[in-house]
Amino acid sequence: MAQSQRISQQPSQLVDSYGRVHRDLRISVTDRCNFRCSYCMPPEGLPWLPREEVLTFEEIVRVARLLIDRFGISSIRLTGGEPTVRAHLPALVGQLASLGVELALTTNGATLRLLADDLAKAGLNRINISLDTLDPERFRNLTHRDSLPQVLDGIDAACQAGLHPVKINTVVMRGANDDEILDFAEFGRSRGVEVRFIEFMPLDAESNWEDQSVVGVDEIVSRIGSVYPLEPLAQGSEPASRYRYLDGQGHVGVIASVTRSFCHLCDRVRLTADGQFRNCLFATSELDLRALLRGGASDDEIAAAMAGSVAEKWAGHQIGQVAFIRPRRSMSQIGG
Ligand code: SAM
Ligand code: SF4
């Protein structure tokens, strides 16, 4: 990270040795899932965590509260695995919303018709719904589930429940669904939802990722822009490179983790379902917060441990370089 200078740590912020201040927390509430997306999980699933290893709501809220009160974390996203398979999710949303942060959820959308109202009433603000194809048969092949109608209905349910903005996450894989880039752009434009294309990352449980399967941001933007002209927007700390349709029909984004890494802007820390604190999605080591939480550690001790972990954060993930090491756990086990 040549462009950033190392600075010394400040006590009231979660700041690393490159000066990146951390304000965003991703919490995985479960490693389990009701889908089997090919770029994430094998068809037979993964060995699930024993229930006693998964953090309770009380433990999750304690960590969140500490990060908010001590370090000014201002936004939280719940994820998984599939977060909606965790029982009583709206109750957790309610507890976290009462801490006064911006609260978001990433979900596969399959059960949103049942849950969207309760989540919105509990205080959820924003939602990202993952959808990688608009073709029912391809959906079956990609997810090993026959749930496209439910997901489409879930998107409507989220909009009707007043969650805003509703965004669509679309992982693009060469030869699998890249022929649908324009269809998704049109889907977003017609429904008034922002589509976020995601470059395929080497975090699939089956290790099928290879350079050639990645469709990069430049290609995605040029394919859309040749039909619907686009103008780039300035990138803040958010991971997406965002573009505005010049005809005023909304925005589209690309999370270009592979070809246009945004590590130098990263403001994110993560808590896995089993209570491991991670300073990077691609980190190869974790801080065992569950052991501290269950071992009687004080708030000061837990806060100091998290600050120490962030202080050690590396400059970036180095995907595509010889030095890149895949994390031991895959996407659904970390929390995407
Ligand atoms: N189950 C929820 C879902 O699918 O939205 C939340 C968890 S999922 C791991 C979070 C996001 O990570 C989803 O948008 C999913 O498409 C994305 N994802 C999973 N594996 C990925 C991979 N190997 N590369 C890029 N994105 C991936
Ligand atoms: Fe489940 Fe989300 Fe992974 Fe798909 S991407 S298998 S929905 S955790």
Say yes or no to pLDDT of 7 above 60.
Answer: no
Token pair for 290:
């569950």
When pLDDT is averaged across residues 209-221 and rounded to a whole number, the result is 95
Token pair for 55:
């953090």
Say yes or no to pLDDT of 5 above 80.
Answer: no
| Cβ atoms 267, 20 nearer than 8 A | yes
Q: Please, which pLDDT band fits residue 8 given cuts at 50, 70 and 90?
A: very low
Q: Which residues contact 32 (CB under 8 A, 6 or more apart)?
A: 48, 80, 81, 82, 85, 86
Does 130 contact ligand 1 (Cβ within 6 A)? yes
When pLDDT is averaged across residues 239-263 and rounded to a whole number, the result is 94
Give me ligand 2 centre to Cα 143, in Å. Answer: 8
Token pair for 265:
């802007």
Rounded CA separation 128/169 (Å): 6
Using a cut of 0.85, tell me whether the model's pTM lies above it: yes
Does 28 contact ligand 1 (Cβ within 6 A)? no
pLDDT one-digit tens code per residue, 268-301: 999 999 999 999 999 999 999 999 999 999 999 9
Angle at 285 between CA 33 and CA 4, to 5 degrees: 110
pLDDT one-digit tens code per residue, 46-86: 999 999 999 999 999 999 999 999 999 999 999 999 999 99
Pocket test for ligand 1, best of 29, 33, 78, 106 (most atoms within 8 A of CB): 106
Q: What is the set of domains in the chain, with CATH numbers?
A: 24-167+264-334 (3.20.20.70)
